[in-house]
Amino acid sequence: MKKVKVLILRTAGTNCDYETQAAFELCGAFAERVHINALIENKNKIFEYDILAFPGGFSYGDDIASGKILANEIKNKLGDKVKKFALSGRPIIGICNGFQVLVKMGLLPDSKLFKQVSTLSYNDSDKFECRWVYLKTVRNEELGVRNLNTAEIKCLWSRNLPDIITLPVAHGEGKFIPESKSLLESLNKSNQIVFRYCDKNGLQPQYPLDPNGSMRQIAGISNDKGNVFGLMPHPERYVYALQHPSRESFNGEHGWGKVIFQNAVDYVK
């Protein structure tokens, strides 16, 4: 059986790389943490991997704006390679700060365009928000599909999940804002909205369950192909039941985050 190789890109201020590595390894992959300077020195090294992960943290101290300096660095020094990787259909995930990087370099929501057309701005509270939240797994709303039929879910990372899951968030800049209403409608129509914040019944949440005031409660999006995925919550912080405050689990042992990583590993296999 093929061993799936994952590149976890880290830099100064990245702090969720070990947990992300552990999550992928739990799913049977070989995950390697690679510093951005090493990748810039050997740009084609990226193609030795099947999956690319941008982990959470505070890259470059969140200076200027969260994810901005790393996004600028990647775009200018590795942009063509990262875009090629994305357009090849290989899975890419950006978690929290990694999501901010993907959005600010423009790999999300349109990997072909590769231009910033949306942002993750300051939380409405102007505070760092850190708690467990409920997420609604968005399926093809136009078709009204409400089952686990994977064919109806565009994003390869969010398959095999129920309607509502829980994951922790920890961010100060997570308010998703697209550049226009038409882009928002287009994301809706093309089924690129992967997760929305919700309450425990799946209904529209109020603060603090809505941690940031994102437009239409968006917590995670994918590109049109469904291989590039970014989200503010941290799936790597809920791969074991032990990590949940009430030890909840879907199988007695694991948390919903594991399903997300397993989806990508299984997709590559």
Partner 1 sequence: MYQIEISSKKGFKDVHGEHTLSEISGLGIKQVEKVSYSQVYEIHGEINPAQANEIAEELLSDKITEKPLVKKIETGGSRSAVNSKLSVIEVWYKKGVTDTVSESVAKAVKDLGIKEEIKVKTGHKYYLYGNLSQKILNTIATKLLANTLIQEYKIK
Structure tokens at 146: 């409400």
The one catalytic residue among 96, 173, 198, 244: 96
Stretch that binds partner 1, among 73-81, 89-97, 162-170, 203-211 (CB under 8 A): 73-81
* Residue 1 neighbours by CB distance under 10 Å: 5
- The β-bridge partners of 176 are 120
CA 188 → CA 88, 221, 268, distances in Å? 24, 10, 27
Catalytic pick among 171, 234, 244, 254? 234
Position among 1, 2, 76, 144 found at the interface with partner 1 (CB under 8 A): 76
Nearer to partner 1, 66 or 158 (CB): 66
Burial of 27 (0-12, 13-18, 19+ CB in 10 A): buried
Sheet containing strand 5-10, edge to edge, reads: 30-35, 5-10, 51-54, 92-95, 228-231, 218-222, 193-198, 129-137, 164-171
135 strand-pairing partners: 165, 197
For the question of residue 234 being annotated catalytic, the response is yes
The one-letter code for the residue type at 104 is K
The minimum distance between CB 184 and partner 1, in angstroms, equals 12
Q: Which is nearer to partner 1, 68 or 237 (CB)?
A: 68
Residue 196 near residue 184, CB atoms below 8 Å = no
Identity of the residue, 64 or 130, whose beta carbon is nearer to partner 1 in the bound complex: 64
Whether 254 is a known active-site residue: answer no
Interface residues for partner 1 in 108-167 (CB under 8 A)? 116-119, 121-126
Nearest CB to partner 1, comparing residues 145 and 177: 177
Handedness of CA 111, 112, 114, 120 (dihedral sign): negative
74 vs 231, beta carbon nearer partner 1: 74
Least distance (Å) between residue 43 CB and partner 1: 15
Task: Supply the minimum distance, in Å, between the C-beta of residue 141 and partner 1.
Answer: 24
Residue type, 22: A
Q: Per CB under 8 A, does 81 bind partner 1? A: no
Interaction of residue 266 with partner 1, rule CB under 8 A: no
Q: Does 63 bind partner 1 (CB under 8 A)?
A: yes
User: Is 96 considered catalytic here?
Assistant: yes
What is the CB neighbour count within 10 angstroms for residue 252? 7
**Residue 154 burial (CB < 10 Å; 0-12/13-18/19+)?**
buried
Q: Is 65 in the site for partner 1 (CB under 8 A)?
A: yes
Annotated catalytic residue within 155, 173, 236, 254: 236
The contact pattern for partner 1, residues 166-205, with x = CB under 8 A and - = no contact, is -----------xxx--------------------------
Of 29, 34, 53, 69, which one interacts with partner 1 (CB under 8 A)?
69
Alpha-carbon gap, residue 159 to 118, rounded angstroms: 25
Give the catalytic positions in this structure: 96, 234, 236
- Residues near partner 1 (CB under 8 A): 60-61, 63-65, 68-69, 72-73, 76-77, 116-119, 121-126, 177-179, 213
